[in-house]
Amino acid sequence: MSQASNSITKKTREAGDAADEYYIGLRRLEKTLPKWTYFDPAQYDRELKAIWYKEWNYVCRAEAIEKGSFRRHAIGDQDVLIVRDEQGNLRAFHNTCRHRGSRLCAAEEGSLSNGNIVCPYHAWTYALDGKLLGVPGLSLPPDFEKGAFSLFPVAVTVWRGFVFINFDSAAVPNFEPFGARVATLASWPLEELKLAHSYSVNVACNWKIFWENSSECYHCPGVHPELSKMAPIVGRGIMELRQDPNWQENQHKQHPRFQGGIAEGMKTYSLDGQTKGEPFPGLTEEDHRTGFGFRTNWPSVLFGANVDFVRALRVRPLGPEQTEISLEFFFSEENLANPEFDPKHNIEFTRRVVDQDISICELNQAGLRSMAFESGVLMPSENYVHAFQEWVCSRLG
Ligand code: FES
Ligand SMILES: [Fe+2]
């Protein structure tokens, strides 16, 4: 995230009557964003320009783009082409030809013929560094210089095996954890993970609705009965000790109802809470006690890590009231090679929880249209929803 991301945290903290109010819970009645921000097309457009075209967007795993192949990624009305050059470096460009603006690659992914990018319209040919190599035709304008017609670059970076792009070609990679869920995942071997399963769902809600839902556990006791058993603090409607209004009294109680972490006797997010494989080597005792970690990189990805698997939940806006949610499930190579190990055991549990979130997000979106409703209010444990909304506002200026 860019430097400016962190300034909201600061602003909110300084504005409060306690230095760490942001982390404890809201102490005053805060309103939500006005309802129209969740369905107004002009607002959606403003958010694309101010947020989605300025922040780092998660695309896919680095190994998914091999030498000589390409992958497209669209956000709003912008389309990016990501390629890997002969030296193994990733490059990203606007998927638009410099001749008359044709889209260069139409397929979602594929391999590049002759290792170059060739426009399907008049066959202008570009090298994988974006330089214009060839212009067919009987003659060229006298002052035509190929060097002036390279593809428009898009910033691309890899964070621990995950590819991110940014339309702001001057953006500096900065993946400090920020937001509601900030586990560093330092002891998880993210670089070595292997993809076992992925799926995408189109959800009938504004992208902000999805992030707001992911920023609180006020909804968890009612919406996620299985998760509430697995992570007892969630069953109390909070995500962490500091959201407990009695946290000072409760901070020394070791039960996961107070400290967070996975329920006693449970090891991972799976249908029975048990793991059928080996946990990742290198996890700390604390990682095993907690059993899971979450890390948010607004606006495009939420990483969830358990002792034997990791998932990336990618968010992509498709329209004011349409959002694509994509999930990827990663495991260790060793567990996937073990015939006794069945990744479905973990996947099914997560899918159930995500499906519950999707249903409630769609219901939230549907209710906003009421002519009687203007905006809602936030409860103390929805402090990270407030932080998210502040972040959105700061981006919009
Ligand atoms: S638009 Fe690409 S070569 Fe003409
Ligand atoms: Fe949820």
Contacts of 82 (CB under 8 A, 6+ apart): 59, 65, 70, 71, 72, 73, 90, 91, 92, 156, 163, 165
pLDDT confidence band for 241 (50 / 70 / 90):
confident
Helix (H, G, I), strand (E, B) or coil at 364: helix
Q: Which of 195-204, 209-218, 244-253 has the lowest mean pLDDT?
A: 244-253
Cβ of 124 closer than 6 Å to ligand 1, yes or no, is: yes
Encode 49-61: b = buried (16+ Cβ within 10 Å), e = exposed: eebbbbbbbbbbb
- Mean pLDDT of all residues in 153-161: 95
- Mean pLDDT of all residues in 51-72: 96
Strand 69-75 and strand 57-61: the pairing is unpaired
Cβ of 347 closer than 6 Å to ligand 1, yes or no, is: no
pLDDT given at position 79: 97
- Mean pLDDT of all residues in 128-133: 96
- Residue 228 per-residue DSSP state: H
90 beta partners: 84
Cα separation, 122 vs 116, in Å, equals: 15
- Mean pLDDT of all residues in 199-204: 98
% pLDDT > 90, the chain: 70
Q: Which of 95, 124, 133 has most ligand 1 atoms within 8 Å of CB, for mutation?
A: 124
pLDDT given at position 248: 87
Q: Which of 81, 98, 100 has most ligand 1 atoms within 8 Å of CB, for mutation?
A: 100
Cβ of 97 closer than 6 Å to ligand 1, yes or no, is: yes
Cβ of 102 closer than 6 Å to ligand 1, yes or no, is: yes
Whether residue 299 has a cis bond before it, omega within 30° of 0: yes
Q: Which ligand places an atom closest to the C-alpha of 227?
A: 2
- Mean pLDDT of all residues in 257-283: 91
CATH number of 57-166: 2.102.10.10
What residue spans define the domains of the chain?
A: 3-53+176-396, 57-166
Angle in degrees, CA 188, 306, 325, rounded to 5: 100
Report the topology of domain 3-53+176-396.
Naphthalene 1,2-dioxygenase Alpha Subunit; Chain A, domain 1 (3.90.380)
Q: Which of 81, 118, 121, 150 has most ligand 1 atoms within 8 Å of CB, for mutation?
A: 121
pLDDT digits (tens, 9 = 90+) for 177-190: 666 667 789 899 99
Element containing residue 29 per DSSP (H, E): none
How many Cβ atoms are within 10 Å of 262's Cβ, its own excluded? 21
pLDDT confidence band for 95 (50 / 70 / 90):
very high
pLDDT confidence band for 16 (50 / 70 / 90):
very low
Q: How far is the CA of 354 from the centre of ligand 2 (A)?
A: 7
Cα separation, 86 vs 261, in Å, equals: 45
The overall average pLDDT reported for the chain is 90
Q: In the predicted model, is pLDDT for residue 8 greater than 70?
A: no
What atom in ligand 1 is closest to the CA of residue 123? 3
Q: In the predicted model, is pLDDT for residue 228 greater than 70?
A: yes
pLDDT given at position 363: 98
What atom in ligand 1 is closest to the CA of residue 100? 1
pLDDT given at position 177: 62
Q: How far is the CA of 220 from the centre of ligand 2 (A)?
A: 6
- Mean pLDDT of all residues in 66-70: 93
- Mean pLDDT of all residues in 242-247: 85
Cα separation, 239 vs 231, in Å, equals: 9
What are the angstrom distances between the C-alpha of 103 and each of 49, 151, 163, 344?
20, 12, 22, 38
Q: How far is the CA of 163 from the centre of ligand 1 (A)?
A: 28
Q: How far is the CA of 135 from the centre of ligand 1 (A)?
A: 9
pLDDT given at position 334: 96
Angle in degrees, CA 42, 93, 129, rounded to 5: 165
pLDDT given at position 181: 65
pLDDT given at position 178: 63
Q: Which of 60-64, 154-158, 226-230, 260-264 has the lowest mean pLDDT?
A: 260-264
Cβ of 121 closer than 6 Å to ligand 1, yes or no, is: yes
Asked if residues 187 and 282 have their Cβ atoms less than 8 Å apart, the reply is yes
Query: For the chain, give me the number of helices (H) and strands (E)?
Result: 12, 17
295 beta partners: 182, 303
What atom in ligand 1 is closest to the CA of residue 102? 1
Tokens 């070595």 correspond to 192
pLDDT digits (tens, 9 = 90+) for 19-41: 354 455 677 888 999 999 999 99
Which two structure tokens, joined as six digits, stand for 48?
């694309």
Asked if residues 82 and 73 have their Cβ atoms less than 8 Å apart, the reply is yes
Cβ of 100 closer than 6 Å to ligand 1, yes or no, is: yes
Cα separation, 397 vs 391, in Å, equals: 10
Q: Which of 55-64, 165-174, 309-318, 324-333 has the lowest mean pLDDT?
A: 165-174
Q: Please name the residue ranges forming H helices in the chain.
A: 3-15, 21-24, 41-47, 207-214, 220-223, 225-230, 247-250, 256-259, 285-290, 333-337, 344-367, 383-396
pLDDT confidence band for 172 (50 / 70 / 90):
confident
Domains 3-53+176-396 and 57-166 share a fold: no
Nearest CA to ligand 1 atom 4: 122
Cβ of 122 closer than 6 Å to ligand 1, yes or no, is: yes
Q: In the predicted model, is pLDDT for residue 315 greater than 90?
A: yes
Strand 322-331 and strand 194-203: the pairing is antiparallel
% pLDDT > 70, the chain: 92
- Mean pLDDT of all residues in 47-56: 96
pLDDT given at position 25: 66
Contacts of 28 (CB under 8 A, 6+ apart): none
Nearest Cα residue to 307 out of 271, 282, 336, 327: 282
Cα separation, 206 vs 229, in Å, equals: 29
pLDDT given at position 60: 97
